[in-house]
Chain A
């Protein structure tokens, strides 16, 4: 499978946030999207997922195995991706396990067990607690467990390690490495190094201004692969 973006542009409220972005990701490759605040990292991820309209250019997936060949067909990027946004998409009044079980049933393509996924992110034994009782880092880890309960080849991660401690960051880097090793693709917007070996980097927004580290306008000049 390949994720291809050509001359991609995105806008928010009528203002161009970025333009002329292009990249090709093959199986097992990861792309780190970096850049100052407001340079359009989150917008780029939402455009790729299809939550925001494509302003110009195109983004698509290619080479998905046909159903006849034993693979799954993904008619669109949205159906092939896990989107982990700023919010965790979990209900505070439901228990962690109930939340995960719901997303497992709703998303289909069950992969890991709920218990197994919770063990993997280091939350084993607290599945019965209401999600609202957890700390910020634990919530993030529970949201990461959501990536594991259903299988998706493409992970779109927006600041995935926000709120995680050092040990969990390491654990998450291993998870991402495993996903790539199994032929998955990752696009992650981040400020922090994620510890992914061999990841490409896409720097959004050109030179940061001395005072505030770049502005939305500067991003219009576009970013390029490094």
Chain B
């Protein structure tokens, strides 16, 4: 399993990997918002956490279609599925998800505080948003894995995956953003939505890989 994790991380980092694509897309989205919204610093600071979350969500979805497709194209997926008796397929999928998250999504979380400055956010708000992103984005990857597994045989499945997955990520977005706001806006709670967000991630860490494994098993035609 460690071997698979390291291999996927290496693939992500080396030429042709998707590690930078997501970050650059994230940067592009966030950098254009102030131009569109206008130079109202108060407004920017207020919508900042929501914009960061939406940007991160869309950037997460960007690289998901390659999660299994690359392995399918070169035949590795068949061998990963055949290894089911040694490494349960759901665990293989979970490992691939974690590697994908560490390689492609973690850079987004790291970049988020910097992009928060573009949105004129306070340090506390920036910290809270980065923390919620850190806890919440794995959930998006896990849901996305199920979508990617369903669409693995489709040659241009990227858009389909986004459409399939987007409605399911809405709860993650809602609790992520409300926890980010809770850190600064006084009457709103931070801890409750944050814990629900963590619970969502843990819940989807089981449900996502299991359903993705099921889809992959039946998609080996």
Q: Do A and B bind each other?
A: yes
Q: A12-B221, A106-B83 are in contact. Are A87 and B7 (CB under 8 A)?
A: no
* Residue-wise interface mask of B (62-84) relative to A, using a CB-CB cutoff of 8 A (1 in contact, 0 not): 00000000000111101111111
Q: A87-B73, A91-B74 are in contact. Are A78 and B3 (CB under 8 A)?
A: no
Residues of A within 8 A of B (CB): 12-13, 46, 49-52, 74-76, 78-79, 81, 83, 85-94, 98, 101-103, 105-108
Q: Which residues of B contact A105 (CB under 8 A)?
A: 2-3
Rounded to whole angstroms, the CA-CA distance of A122 and B87 in the bound complex is 31
The answer to the question of B15 belonging to the interface, with a C-beta cut-off of 8 Å to chain A, is: yes
A83 to nearest B CB, angstroms? Answer: 6
Name the contact of B86 in the complex, choosing from A81, A83, A85, A107 (C-beta under 8 A).
Answer: A107
The answer to the question of B10 belonging to the interface, with a C-beta cut-off of 8 Å to chain A, is: yes
Interface of B is mostly: helix
In the complex, the answer to whether A83 meets B82 with C-beta atoms within 8 Å is yes
Name the contact of A94 in the complex, choosing from B4, B10, B73, B221 (C-beta under 8 A).
Answer: B10
In the complex, the answer to whether A79 meets B86 with C-beta atoms within 8 Å is yes
Chain B interface residue number, banded: 20 to 34
In the complex, the answer to whether B75 meets A88 with C-beta atoms within 8 Å is yes
Name the contact of A79 in the complex, choosing from B4, B16, B80, B85 (C-beta under 8 A).
Answer: B85
The answer to the question of B160 belonging to the interface, with a C-beta cut-off of 8 Å to chain A, is: no
In the complex, the answer to whether A93 meets B15 with C-beta atoms within 8 Å is yes
Rounded to whole angstroms, the CA-CA distance of A50 and B221 in the bound complex is 11
The answer to the question of B51 belonging to the interface, with a C-beta cut-off of 8 Å to chain A, is: no
The answer to the question of B220 belonging to the interface, with a C-beta cut-off of 8 Å to chain A, is: yes
In the complex, the answer to whether A78 meets B75 with C-beta atoms within 8 Å is no
Q: Which residues of B contact A85 (CB under 8 A)?
A: 75, 78
Rounded to whole angstroms, the CA-CA distance of A88 and B51 in the bound complex is 43
26 A-B contacts (beta carbon < 8 Å): A12-B221, A13-B221, A50-B82, A51-B78, A51-B82, A51-B220, A52-B220, A78-B82, A79-B84, A81-B82, A83-B82, A85-B75, A86-B75, A87-B73, A88-B74, A89-B74, A89-B75, A89-B78, A89-B79, A90-B76, A91-B7, A91-B76, A94-B7, A106-B80, A106-B83, A107-B86
Q: A51-B220, A94-B7, A102-B7 are in contact. Are A78 and B14 (CB under 8 A)?
A: no
The answer to the question of B11 belonging to the interface, with a C-beta cut-off of 8 Å to chain A, is: yes
In the complex, the answer to whether A78 meets B4 with C-beta atoms within 8 Å is no
Q: Which residue of A is nearest B218, CB measured?
A: A53
Q: Which residues of A contact B79 (CB under 8 A)?
A: 83, 89, 103, 107
Q: Which residue of A is nearest B92, CB measured?
A: A106
Q: A91-B11, A93-B15, A102-B3 are in contact. Are A83 and B78 (CB under 8 A)?
A: yes
In the complex, the answer to whether A52 meets B11 with C-beta atoms within 8 Å is no
Rounded to whole angstroms, the CA-CA distance of A91 and B17 in the bound complex is 12
In the complex, the answer to whether B85 meets A78 with C-beta atoms within 8 Å is yes
Rounded to whole angstroms, the CA-CA distance of A139 and B79 in the bound complex is 17
Name the contact of A87 in the complex, choosing from B11, B74, B87 (C-beta under 8 A).
Answer: B74
For the A-B complex with A13-B221, A87-B74 known, give 18 more contacts whose Cβ atoms are closer than 8 Å: A12-B221, A52-B221, A75-B85, A78-B84, A83-B78, A85-B75, A87-B75, A88-B74, A91-B11, A91-B74, A93-B16, A101-B3, A102-B4, A102-B6, A102-B7, A103-B79, A106-B3, A107-B83
Rounded to whole angstroms, the CA-CA distance of A91 and B10 in the bound complex is 11
Q: Which residues of A contact B11 (CB under 8 A)?
A: 91, 93-94
Q: A89-B78, A105-B3 are in contact. Are A98 and B83 (CB under 8 A)?
A: no
A192 to nearest B CB, angstroms? Answer: 21
Q: A85-B75, A89-B76 are in contact. Are A51 and B81 (CB under 8 A)?
A: yes
Q: Which residue of A is nearest B81, CB measured?
A: A51
B7 to nearest A CB, angstroms? Answer: 5
Q: Which of B178-221 touch A at CB < 8 Å?
A: 220-221
- Kindly list the 9 A-B residue pairs having the minimum CB-CB distance in the complex, ordered from nearest: A87-B75, A105-B3, A79-B85, A89-B75, A51-B220, A89-B76, A78-B82, A93-B14, A102-B7
